[in-house]
């Protein structure tokens, strides 16, 4: 591909984002709504979004926090628990309140303590979702302290995901924020209309060694945790391949700086301000800019049975790196993700 100084994309959607609530919400929402037309909003608030009525109230809070004349659309998700009511869930889906349901194994990540303790308890829920065509979004890690943290994703495939798909072959599943070659290979082996995966800009950019480069780097700590370089390379190859099973999901997850830089720092990377620029840099480096529009703007809507956006967003390449600013929230701030390479692209 010839070098380019401008790039036009169909306006992307973010198929996995954390917007929080309260004082944090309008701050982080602005960054997401500027770059993306729609976003799948994670439900792991405190307390979580467990019912249709919870989602209606949260959507109203998001819409009230949007800037005037914004055309951003939040796509709501249900936080599954051992007691999820399938009738309420499917009612929320058919009423266009829920776009998907989220499975957090209990204790797997931030605000997941109320999550599912045993997926077998939800087989009636998964059957109802299969019949309705409702997507299941999965944080794919086993919760077992006997299993090394770097092995929890591929063990999840073996112990939970494959048996789940065998029991519910018609269930649409998004294996979210994948981090391993094992997950890439597994998703490639499935039906493209039933199994897909999101890939984050930070998992495409860093490996586990980057977490300890010159000391502990708390602002790179996230779950699932970054893996070996061979896995990062597999993620890049999958994202840049043009395979419609893979699409954009930032998993942008803001935490105040004091919550990250503490004796037990929170898991999460805030990347909404420069997520698209990071993706562009990675695709450019791998001579795959021709595949970026599919990954960022087409594959996700197709899996969710939605039409792509009609608006375009244009980027230009600068001669000097783009500065990366932190997000000010009250008297504190949220650290914005800095990939281990300069960013030269900016929205026009």
Q: Phi-psi category of 4—alpha, beta or left, where left has phi over 0 and alpha has psi -120 to 50?
A: beta
Q: For residue 4, give the DSSP letter.
A: -
The single residue of 13, 251, 290, 326 carrying the catalytic annotation is 251
CA atoms of 292 and 88, how far apart (whole Å): 37
- DSSP letter for 129, please: H
251 catalytic? Reply is: yes
Angle of the 52-65 helix axis to the 86-94 helix axis, nearest 10? 40
Separation of alpha carbons 59 and 62, rounded Å: 5
Nearest 10 degrees: CA dihedral of 28, 21, 136, 302? Answer: -40
User: Which string of DSSP letters, residue by residue, matches 30-68?
Assistant: HHHHHH-SEEEEP---SS---SHHHHHHHHHHHHHHSPT
Residue 330, SS3 per DSSP: coil
> Catalytic amino acids?
251
């Amino acid at each position: 591909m010839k070098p380019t100084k401008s790039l036009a994309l169909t306006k992307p959607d973010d198929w996995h984002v954390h917007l929080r609530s309260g004082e944090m919400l309008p701050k982080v929402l602005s960054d997401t709504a500027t770059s993306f037309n729609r976003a799948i909003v994670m439900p792991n608030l405190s307390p979580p979004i467990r019912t249709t009525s919870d989602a209606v109230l949260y959507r109203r809070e998001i819409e009230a926090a949007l800037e005037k004349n914004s055309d951003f659309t939040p796509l709501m998700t249900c936080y599954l628990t051992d007691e999820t009511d399938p009738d309420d869930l499917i009612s929320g889906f058919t009423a266009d309140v829920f776009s998907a349901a989220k499975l957090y194994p209990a204790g797997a990540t931030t605000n997941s303590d109320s999550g599912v303790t045993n997926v077998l308890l939800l087989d009636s829920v998964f059957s109802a979702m299969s019949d309705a065509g409702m997507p299941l979004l999965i944080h794919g890690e086993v919760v077992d302290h006997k299993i090394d943290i770097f092995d929890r994703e591929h063990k999840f495939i073996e112990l939970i995901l494959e048996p789940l798909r065998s029991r519910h072959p018609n269930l649409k599943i998004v294996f979210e924020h994948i981090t391993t070659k094992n997950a890439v290979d597994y998703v490639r082996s499935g039906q493209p209309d039933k199994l897909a995966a999101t890939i984050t800009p930070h998992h495409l950019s860093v490996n586990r060694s980057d977490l300890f480069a010159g000391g502990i780097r708390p602002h790179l700590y996230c779950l699932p945790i970054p893996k070996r370089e061979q896995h990062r390379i597999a993620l890049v190859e999958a994202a840049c391949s043009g395979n419609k099973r893979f699409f954009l999901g930032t998993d942008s997850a803001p935490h105040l700086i004091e919550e990250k830089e503490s004796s037990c720092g929170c898991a999460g990377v805030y990347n909404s301000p420069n997520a698209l620029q990071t993706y562009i840099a990675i695709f450019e480096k791998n001579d795959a800019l021709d595949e970026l529009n599919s990954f960022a703007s087409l594959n996700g809507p197709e899996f969710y049975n939605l039409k792509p956006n009609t608006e375009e967003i244009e980027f230009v390449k600068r001669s000097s790196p783009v500065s990366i600013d932190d997000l000010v929230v009250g008297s504190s701030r949220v650290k914005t993700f800095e990939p281990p390479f300069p960013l030269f692209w900016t929205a026009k």
